[in-house]
Amino acid sequence: MSVVTVQLGQCGNQIGTQLFSKLYQESVYQSLPTHCRQAAIDRFFYQLSRQGSSEEPQCQARAVLVDMESKVVHNSLADAARSGRFTFDEKSVYAEKKGSGNNWAYGYLRQGQLCIETILEMIRRQVERCDHLDSFLVLLSVAGGTGSGVGARVTEALRDRYPNNALLNIAVWPYSSGEVIVQDYNSLLTMSHLQSSSDGIIVLQNEQLHTICSKLLHMKKITLADINVIAAHTLASILLPAQLLPESSCDVTAPGGNRTRPTLPNPDTVMRDDRLLYSSCRPSNIVTSVCPHPLYKLLSVKSIPHILDSTLPYSNYIWSILLKDLRQMMLTDSPVDTGMDWTVDPVGTRGHCRLPCRTNKSLANLLVLRGNELDKSDPSLFSDSLLYSNSVPSACTCSVWCCHGSFSKYEKSCTVVSNSQSSVSPLDQVCGRAWNMFSSRAYIHQYSKFGLTQEDFMSSFVAIEQVIKDYKDLSS
Ligand SMILES: Nc1nc2c(ncn2[C@@H]2O[C@H](COP(=O)(O)OP(=O)(O)OP(=O)(O)O)[C@@H](O)[C@H]2O)c(=O)[nH]1
Ligand SMILES: [Mg+2]
Map out the domains of the chain as residue ranges: 2-239, 243-295+302-421, 425-475
DSSP string computed for 179-239: SSTTHHHHHHHHHHHHHHH-SEEEEEEHHHHHHIIIIIS--SS--HHHHHHHHHHHHHHHH
Whole-number pLDDT of residue 55: 65
Q: Hey, whose CA ends up nearest to atom 16 of ligand 1?
A: 10
pLDDT band for position 12 (cuts 50, 70, 90)? very high
The bridge status of strand 45-51 relative to strand 56-61 is antiparallel
Among 186, 202, 267, smallest CA distance to 236 is for: 202
Whole-number pLDDT of residue 395: 56
pLDDT band for position 393 (cuts 50, 70, 90)? low
Task: Say which residue, 163 or 260, is predicted with more confidence.
Answer: 163
Torsion of CA 362, 286, 40, 280, to 10 degrees: 110
Cβ neighbours of 330 (radius 10 Å) = 22
Report residue 9 CA to chain centroid gap. 17
**pLDDT score of 390 more than 70:** yes
Q: Is 119 in the pocket of ligand 1 (CB under 6 A)?
A: no
Task: Please measure the distance between the N-terminal and C-terminal CA atoms of the chain and give it in whole angstroms.
Answer: 40
CATH 3.40.640.10 fits 243-295+302-421, yes or no: no
pLDDT tens-digit map of 326-343: 999 999 999 998 888 888
Q: Is 152 in the pocket of ligand 1 (CB under 6 A)?
A: no
Record the pTM.
0.92
**pLDDT score of 403 more than 50:** yes
**pLDDT score of 32 more than 60:** yes
pLDDT band for position 58 (cuts 50, 70, 90)? confident
Q: Could you identify the atom of ligand 1 that is nearest to the CA of residue 99? A: 25
What is the Å distance from ligand 1's center to 143 Cα? 7
pLDDT tens-digit map of 411-427: 999 999 999 999 899 99
| Section 381-397 average pLDDT | 77
pLDDT tens-digit map of 355-374: 444 688 999 999 999 998 88
What distance in Å separates the CA atoms of residue 89 and residue 68, rounded to the nearest whole number?
18
**pLDDT score of 256 more than 80:** no
Whole-number pLDDT of residue 315: 82
What distance in Å separates the CA atoms of residue 101 and residue 98, rounded to the nearest whole number?
8
Superfamily of domain 2-239: Tubulin/FtsZ, GTPase domain (3.40.50.1440)
| Section 209-223 average pLDDT | 95
Q: Could you identify the atom of ligand 1 that is nearest to the CA of residue 231? A: 1
Q: Hey, whose CA ends up nearest to atom 13 of ligand 1?
A: 144
| Section 289-316 average pLDDT | 91
Q: Is 206 in the pocket of ligand 1 (CB under 6 A)?
A: yes
Task: Say which residue, 38 or 449, is predicted with more confidence.
Answer: 449
Torsion of CA 350, 351, 354, 355, to 10 degrees: -40
Q: Is 172 in the pocket of ligand 1 (CB under 6 A)?
A: yes
Among 130, 115, 30, smallest CA distance to 73 is for: 115
- Proportion of the chain in helix, strand, coil states, percent, rounded to 5: 50, 20, 30
Q: DSSP 3-state assignment of 318? A: coil
